Amino acid sequence: MATNCDFSRSSLLTEQYQREMELIAAALQEESQDERDERLGLVERSWSLTCTCFHGQLEASDASTPAHVPVAVAHM
């Protein structure tokens, strides 16, 4: 059952979220095309690095765990 404290906290979080989104929206509107291109380039590079690291971790965990051994046993 929700209390007045829960509603108050929820309201404060909503207000904080709205303020932060307004700041982000204002910053994006003021962003130049060069800044936008640079930011998108950074996102693109970081995404490819993230994918590479994830796949590397996945392959490493697949190679170290034989297929017939249950995961719970492999981590003992």
pLDDT in tens, the chain (76 residues): 455 566 677 888 899 999 999 998 998 889 899 998 998 899 898 988 888 888 888 888 776 655 544 444 343 3
Domain residues for the domain of 5 are 1-30
Residue 71 contacts residue 65 (beta carbons within 8 Å): yes
Query: In the chain, which residue ranges form alpha helices assigned H by DSSP?
Result: 4-30, 33-64, 71-74
How far apart CA 30 and CA 36 sit, in angstroms, is 10
Do 23 and 6 lie in one domain? The reply is yes
Residue 54's pLDDT is: 87
Alpha carbon 11 to its chain centroid, in Å, reads 24
- The phi and psi torsions of 2 (rounded to 5 degrees) equal -75, 145
Residue 74's pLDDT is: 41
Residue 19's pLDDT is: 93
Q: How many separate domains does the chain show?
A: 2
Residue 75's pLDDT is: 39
Do 20 and 45 lie in one domain? The reply is no
Q: Two tokens at 33?
A: 């095309």
